[in-house]
Amino acid sequence: MTKNNGQEATTIERILKELEEKIDEQQFVKYLNEILSAIEQLEKTEAIKIFQKLIDEEKELLRSVAIYWLGELQAKETEEKIINSLRNDESTIVRSTAVQALGKLGSTAAIQALITSLQRDKEEQVRSWAALTLGDFTLERVINVLIQATKQDKEREVKTSARWSLNAIAKKMGYKSYYRLLSDLQAEETKKQKITCRFSEENKLERKANKN
């Protein structure tokens, strides 16, 4: 990124000010494209500063746009604020955008925030986005929470998203479907339980022998 930081920053601020007005979907896409064009001419740190200031804006559209671009810019220094938006923002749109941004960041803290969102967010849309976003991570704890969502979430959309992500994870791990993955996980869990029981029995026998 190069060129006239001041001019491009002013362009972004103008576009964001115009976004405060009511616009239709077609105009919104146009504005996002204009922002992208301006960002490409900016130093990354300058672009991040502009959007970071907007996370606490009163208008939900501006908060959402800011969080979206912070995710696209891989702004790890704003991770805590994005997680806070996911936990506490009253807007479903903002929380859904925060889910997607945290998926781009992909840190341990971001993944945990996504898991918590899938388990606890009150809105179906946010939980569904969390389930979809978690499909990018081939981690055992992610797999377990997605399995839980397919069984326990009350909304069909969330269950469908969780299954989609499980299939995506399974394919990344070399399985044809998540059913095969689940079968292996269950077999591994049974094996662990048998080993635990064996150690438990051996410990009991050892304690008994020591008493004698």
Calculate the alpha carbon distances from 209 to 202, 205, 206, 212 in Å. Answer: 10, 6, 5, 5
Report the predicted TM-score, pTM, of the whole model to 2 decimal places.
0.77
Residue 113's pLDDT band (cuts 50, 70, 90): very high
Alpha carbon distance 159, 152 (integer Å): 8
Alpha carbon distance 104, 110 (integer Å): 9
pLDDT surpassing 50 at residue 188: yes
pLDDT tens-digit map of 86-111: 999 999 999 999 999 999 999 999 99
Per-residue DSSP letters for 188-202?
HHHHHHHHHHHHHHH
pLDDT surpassing 60 at residue 208: no
Q: And the tokens for 191?
A: 């094996």
Residue 141 has a CB neighbour count (10 Å cut-off) of 12
Alpha carbon distance 7, 123 (integer Å): 40
pLDDT value, residue 2: 46
Who contacts 143 (Cβ-Cβ below 8 Å, separation ≥6)?
Answer: 166, 169, 181, 185
What's the DSSP call for residue 123?
A: -
Report the Cα–Cα distance between both ends of the chain, in Å, rounded.
Answer: 77
pLDDT tens-digit map of 30-68: 666 677 777 777 788 888 888 888 898 888 888 998 899
Residue 146's pLDDT band (cuts 50, 70, 90): very high
Alpha carbon distance 71, 78 (integer Å): 9
Answer whether 162's CB lies under 8 Å from 150's CB.
Answer: yes
Residue 129 has a CB neighbour count (10 Å cut-off) of 25
